[in-house]
Amino acid sequence: MERHYGWVIVAAGAVITCLAMGAMFALPVYLQPIAAETGWTRAGISGAMTVGFIVMGVAGFLWGTLTDRIGARPVILAAAAMLGVGLFIASRANDLLVFQLAYGGLVGASGGAFFAPLIATTLGWFDKHRSLAVSLVSLGAGVAPMTMTPLATVLIENFGWRAAMMMTAFAATMFIIPAAFLIRRAPEVLAEAPTPGSDVVPSAKPPTSIGILLRTPQFIVLAAVFFLCCGAHSGPIFHTVSYAMLAVHLRWRPPVSIVWRALPGFLAVSSSAC
């Protein structure tokens, strides 16, 4: 029964990433209402997301280190609180700098605590179908634009951007916290006694220091791929809402994102079954 609990981790992880990433990346639909009410420039408001991306990347190393020591659950709980506080302060901000620090600093820092710790925890529960499990967890981020973004749009239209962001803060925090209590480390027996049909290739001894790890080809390749991917799409996606007014892009991006996140996992399962 313990082995099957991994799928609970997958479901909880997908929900958490959907809510957390959706709350953070809904900022594009706030861009026009915020600029209209406050008079802040679009560049200044967009700067909050730029800060958020940078802080999220740096904070990911710290959250990952904490996850190794204390597990993913307390990390996610702390990040959920930080996400809620950051969104709440941003919703009340009357100064652009305060908004940038709250959204870019607090919300951005919380963003680095969800994806990597959840993926690492999920991997510990699986020695079969690992690729599928990881794909399903990341699927939450693909679903986010189809759920949180339309919700934020409706709330903004009915209550204004400040109330909408504040309600998003409360809702995301209140749903993430219960889901976080479902996250737990895999029992040692799973790591020490893989199933006969395991599709995990035995790995070499892990690096003993962070310096050695940062110089490994695997880390360099993954870091470069993520940097180039995010650098290429983050800017255009952020400003698409302002120019397309939630038209074609937001109708098609979520389904395409879902397919591309899930497809590699299913392909990996099919390949291992051959």
Residues 4-60: pLDDT tens digits? 788 899 999 999 999 998 898 888 889 889 999 999 988 899 888 888 888 988 898
- Residue at 151: amino acid letter: L
pLDDT of 265 above 70: no
pLDDT at residue 209 in the model? 65
pLDDT at residue 119 in the model? 87
Measured torsion, CA atoms of residues 149, 155, 160, 166, in degrees rounded to the nearest 10: -80
pLDDT at residue 207 in the model? 59
pLDDT at residue 186 in the model? 80
- Domain assignment present for residue 20? The answer is yes
pLDDT at residue 140 in the model? 79
- How would you label 169-186 residue by residue, b for 16+ Cβ within 10 Å and e otherwise? bebbbebbeebbeebbbb
Most confident stretch, 90-99, 186-195, 227-236, 247-256:
90-99
pLDDT of 254 above 80: no
**15, 174 Cβ separation under 8 angstroms:** no
pLDDT of 178 above 80: yes
Between 104-113, 123-132, 150-159, 240-249, the lowest mean confidence (pLDDT) is in 240-249
pLDDT of 247 above 50: no
- Domain assignment present for residue 154? The answer is yes
Averaged over 126-145, what is the pLDDT?
Answer: 81
- pLDDT one-digit tens code per residue, 182-233: 998 887 645 554 554 444 444 556 656 667 767 788 778 877 777 777 666 6
Q: Residue 33: which of 247, 241, 251 has the closest Cα?
A: 241
For residues 15 and 43, what is the distance between their CA atoms, to the nearest angstrom? Answer: 31
For residues 149 and 136, what is the distance between their CA atoms, to the nearest angstrom? Answer: 20
Averaged over 106-122, what is the pLDDT?
Answer: 89
- Residue at 123: amino acid letter: L
pLDDT of 91 above 70: yes
Averaged over 226-245, what is the pLDDT?
Answer: 62
What is the count of structural domains for the chain? 1
E strands, 189-233, are none
Q: 120: buried, middle or exposed (CB in 10 Å: 19+, 13-18, 0-12)? A: middle
**166, 40 Cβ separation under 8 angstroms:** no
- Domain assignment present for residue 173? The answer is yes
For residues 59 and 80, what is the distance between their CA atoms, to the nearest angstrom? Answer: 14
| Distances from the Cα of 272 to the Cα of 17, 201, 266, angstroms | 27, 11, 10
Share of the chain residues as helix, strand and coil, in percent rounded to the nearest 5: 80, 0, 20
CATH code at position 28: 1.20.1250.20
pLDDT of 274 above 80: no
- Domain assignment present for residue 197? The answer is no
The range of the structural domain enclosing residue 224 comes to 3-189+210-269
Instruction: Work out the pLDDT band at 1, boundaries 50, 70, 90.
Output: very low
- Domain assignment present for residue 198? The answer is no
**110, 176 Cβ separation under 8 angstroms:** no
3-state secondary structure of 190: helix
What's the whole-number average pLDDT of the chain? 79
- pLDDT one-digit tens code per residue, 50-64: 888 889 888 988 898
What percent of the chain lies above the pLDDT cut of 70?
Answer: 73
For residues 60 and 64, what is the distance between their CA atoms, to the nearest angstrom? Answer: 6
Instruction: Work out the pLDDT band at 248, boundaries 50, 70, 90.
Output: very low
- Domain assignment present for residue 194? The answer is no
Structure token digits, residue 118: 């959840």
> Angle at Cα 265 formed by Cα 259 and Cα 271, nearest 5°?
120
